[in-house]
Structure 1
Amino acid sequence: MKQYLWIKLLICYIFSAVFMFILLNTYAANRYEDKLIEDKKSLLYNEAASISDEYMTSFYNEELSLPNLTTQIKTIGAILNARIWIVNNSGFVISDTKPDAESDSPINVLDMNPDFLDSTFHNHTVMKGVLSEPMLSVVYKVIYKYQVQGYIVMHSSISSIQKECTHVVDIINICFILFLGFLFLIFSYIYYLTIIPLGKLNKAASEYTKGNYSYILKMKRQDEYGSLANSISYMAGEINNLDDYQKKFVANISHDFRSPLTSIKGYAEALQDGTIPYEMKDKYLGIILFETERLNKLTTSLLALNSFENHGTLLEIVSFDINHIIKKTAESFEGACTQKKITLNLIFASKETLVDADMGKIQQVLYNLLDNAIKFSHHNSTIKISTVEKGDKVFISVKDNGIGIPKDSIKKIWERFYKTDASRGKDKKGTGLGLSITKEIIAAHNENINVISTEGVGTEFIFTLPRTEGFLL
């Protein structure tokens, strides 16, 4: 791709240069030459009119002799670089500014071109033996006493006009060559700005396509290419993280499915072949049902997470008393708390605290947080659940005095299947999806949940809900 774009730029450069060169030396040169001819015609005509006004009346009044007239027009001809004739009515040239005109035989214009004096302008006058080269000629009629007494003919060399035109075009061509050099620098700069970064981006995209997400795309630029490079690098990093996440996901889900499936298969085969005594079948059938429930819970949790990520779950927002939901949820853990001799301390800001939320989903959040708190609390400890009203928000806190979360694990607890080593060894019933579901539910409500934890001291989860003044359901 780099070479292809480079060739396209080069073709554009060459085409532009050739096209402009041809344009300058054909159309532009011809147009300029035509303009010089028109300007020359106008100048010669005006000078002929001036000669007629200043000298010809005196000449016809015999106040100015023919030699003196010739001297005057020779001076004008030298200034204009033109040959001037004074022609009488018979077509004879009676005065000529050519230096050796006196030694030449008389010139009769009508003998060479009978129609010459009838036209004012002649773009290409050729008179062999009289004019040494083609001339641009202007014929001006001299009127004296209301009659044409003669003619003033001004000749200017066409080659001199062409030389002037060529000189100007040559200067333009030199400027154009200098401009081509400047244009080459511009194209080189465009190449540097576009083709080189595109090559780097293409190389990076090729590496990422091959799965080499560790490839470093180096592009220190502050323009759109720099932004694109940063976006591609970020995308590659996210894909790399996603790839790692998928591997961990498969590993975790395989582990969590394999363990109950192994138990179910083993005990089912043992019951089938009679390895387990008949009187013990109820016990092992109970284990099979327990492991089946684990699989069902894991599957349900995965489906719940998937629905949140795909925005497939609609929230049923209602106004309810969060204090009442906390009490009901706490009651469902009475057996677990009694077993570990854990006290649940409920502290509410007011008797009723109304919030707008999905009551079922928030009850699931409270259940997950309380379940975690009890699971990681010590025997004979206290778990505090409180609500605090601040402005239009209600802050709900679940705080335990358990083992805490290691500092390097706090950011990871929201990930699917993530478990600290202590929890995986201590509790094999957890799916590692509870906190992930909790965070997704709170995020679906456009609210926040935070965690404060110190290892060996305890953990506190705090989330917010919008406060309402609605009616209690």
Structure 2
Amino acid sequence: MKRTAFVKLILCYCFAAISMFLLLNTFGVKFMENKLMDRKKDELYNEASIIVTDYATEMVEQLRVIDNFLGTRIWIVSKDGTIVADTRSNAIGINITNLDANFLEQTFSENVYFKGIFTEPMLSVVVRIPYNYSIKGYVCIHMPMDSIRSESIYYIDVVNVCYLVFLIILFLIFLIIYYITVFPVRRITIVCSEYAKGNFDEPMEIRTNDEYRELANSVKYMADELKNLDDYQKKFVANISHDFRSPLTSIRGYAEAMRDGTIPYEMQNKYLDIILFETERLTKLTTNLLSLNSFDNKGTLLDLSSFDINAAIRKTAATFEGQCTKKRIVFNLEFSAKETFVDADIDKIQQVLYNLIDNAIKFSNVDSTIKVTTEEKGSKVLISVKDHGIGIPKDSIKKIWERFYKTDSSRGKDKKGTGLGLSIAKEIITSHDENINVVSTEGVGTEFIFSLKKTDY
């Protein structure tokens, strides 16, 4: 059977309360009785001493007053042990030494029981009456043991009542502590269970401003990230299905048309070129997916070497000559030095340059310029690719690094992209422990800037 923290705390509370109650009533009564016994002894001895000091024959009536006030019985005993005065009168003339030979030699005696005199055990105090350096007699004061026990029980009852009140107050404090400490944990547990079921909209409702609030915020943040991941996965499947289905539909349509003779023989080469183009597009998409998957599984394996980044830029830019000619785009290459060496994986950096320049050409205006620059800054080299084109909407800036993400402008002006180029570029630059950033103004253009480690040669 599962026990909640609340049940465990209640059990611990009950165990502690019962244990304290049993200890209090088991050892407390005896402790209280011993303390009262000691106190009564002192009181009786003090009273007896006062009587001895003020001893006179006319004190019998005063002794009765003291007797009634203290609830005691007082004797005046002669030197030979005969009771000569008794506040209750019925023991006068009795010789104590005949009943207990050692009684007068003891200052304190407990459970004294003289047959025929007392009907219950007594606590007795004996004080000698001095006279001319000798003993003239004794003052004996007796108090019933039951009255001492009754008084100790009374005090224990008072303590028990106070203890009960204390337990009630403690229980209320316990409930408050439970509400402050355990309740938030239970609430977080319930909400986490809802999150595990996919219900990410369950409110957390933790109002305390402490560590529990921080934990709740962390869990909520995790839930939001999981929700985003879930949405991303759905979007990923939808995007990849779309990007595979479109070229496959074209390939199938043109292939069936050529097989059925719908496309004349003399025009088949044109559509075969389209089929080959779509096949290359699928191959590129598959290659990019495999690259990203390898980044996720084992990270990017780098083959670091020192190379001239300026030469790599010239080589990459040259591969886009045909595309630039169609859109009448001109490259403006500006380098801070004739040669600028960096420590990086040349193949992967060329892939980054290719993706960035390809993007720049796609979204540049006709008859525009693409500016590629390098600048040495401390131990780093900053590489910039800047176009003059449609730019990126402000609300899309943070999303462009997501896989398969395409802005509406991208889908409208260019349907050949996979939406993976920037994701791959960021993975490669991040694997070099460097940064890549973007600055864009919609309708003006976009600039991508990334850094690499500079070397001397």
Aligned AA for 2:236?
F
Aligned AA for 1:37?
M
Check if 1:239 corresponds to 2:226.
Answer: yes
Greater Cα offset, 68-77 or 430-439: 68-77
Greater Cα offset, 366-375 or 1-10: 1-10
Aligned with 2:376: secondary structure?
Answer: strand
Q: Equivalents in 2 of 1:271, 1:308: separation in Å?
A: 41
Over aligned residue pairs, what C-alpha RMSD do you find?
A: 3.7
- Map Cα deviations across residues 85-143 of structure 1 (whole Å, 9 max, x no partner): 4545754334x4x3243x64412224444564576643212234423542112456889
Aligned with 1:417: secondary structure?
Answer: coil
CA contact (8 A) 2:392 2:442 kept: yes
Greater Cα offset, 343-352 or 444-453: 444-453
Map 1:373-388 onto structure 2 (within 5 A).
Answer: 373-388=360-375
CA shift, 1:371, in A, is 0.6
Equivalences, count? 457
Check if 1:431 corresponds to 2:423.
Answer: no
Map 1:30-429 onto structure 2 (within 5 A).
Answer: 30-41=30-41, 67=57, 82-87=72-77, 91-94=81-84, 96=85, 98-101=86-89, 104-113=91-100, 116=103, 121-131=108-118, 133-138=120-125, 153-269=140-256, 283-429=270-416
Q: Equivalents in 2 of 1:137, 1:400: separation in Å?
A: 113
CA shift, 1:385, in A, is 0.5
Aligned AA for 2:36?
L
Provide the residue aligned with 1:59 in structure 2.
Answer: none
Aligned AA for 2:286?
T
CA contact (8 A) 1:2 1:196 kept: no
- Map Cα deviations across residues 220-266 of structure 1 (whole Å, 9 max, x no partner): 22112212221222222222211211111111000001122223334
Provide the residue aligned with 2:450 in structure 1.
Answer: 463
Aligned AA for 1:190?
I
Aligned with 2:337: secondary structure?
Answer: coil
Change (3 A) 1:50 1:454: same
Change (3 A) 1:92 1:389: same
Provide the residue aligned with 2:20 in structure 1.
Answer: 20
- Map Cα deviations across residues 407-432 of structure 1 (whole Å, 9 max, x no partner): 33323222211223333243332111
Aligned with 1:233: secondary structure?
Answer: helix
CA contact (8 A) 1:44 1:138 kept: yes
Aligned AA for 2:325?
T
Aligned AA for 1:239?
L
Aligned with 2:114: secondary structure?
Answer: coil
CA shift, 1:381, in A, is 1.8
- Percent identical: 59
**441, 447, 455: which is aligned to 1:454?**
441
CA shift, 1:11, in A, is 4.5
Change (3 A) 1:104 1:382: closer
Q: Equivalents in 1 of 2:94, 2:303: separation in Å?
A: 116
CA shift, 1:372, in A, is 0.7
Aligned AA for 1:342?
I
Greater Cα offset, 416-425 or 266-275: 266-275
Greater Cα offset, 310-319 or 220-229: 310-319
CA contact (8 A) 1:140 1:153 kept: yes
Aligned AA for 2:415?
K
Q: Equivalents in 1 of 2:5, 2:195: separation in Å?
A: 23
Greater Cα offset, 31-40 or 167-176: 167-176
CA contact (8 A) 2:330 2:369 kept: yes
Aligned AA for 1:20?
M
Q: Equivalents in 2 of 1:335, 1:50: separation in Å?
A: 129
CA contact (8 A) 1:2 1:195 kept: no
Aligned AA for 1:385?
V
CA contact (8 A) 1:305 1:437 kept: yes
Q: Equivalents in 1 of 2:314, 2:276: separation in Å?
A: 30
- Map Cα deviations across residues 359-385 of structure 1 (whole Å, 9 max, x no partner): 222221111110111112233221110
Normalising by structure 1, we get a TM-score of 0.82
Q: Equivalents in 2 of 1:49, 1:190: separation in Å?
A: 57
Change (3 A) 1:2 1:235: farther
Provide the residue aligned with 1:60 in structure 2.
Answer: none
Change (3 A) 1:172 1:462: same
Aligned AA for 2:149?
Q
Change (3 A) 1:119 1:354: same
CA contact (8 A) 1:2 1:199 kept: no
Q: Which runs of 5+ in 1 are unaligned?
A: 56-63
Q: Equivalents in 1 of 2:51, 2:452: separation in Å?
A: 105
Aligned AA for 2:245?
R
Q: Equivalents in 1 of 2:278, 2:13: separation in Å?
A: 75
CA shift, 1:347, in A, is 0.6
Aligned with 1:211: secondary structure?
Answer: coil
Aligned AA for 2:144?
S
Change (3 A) 1:242 1:46: same
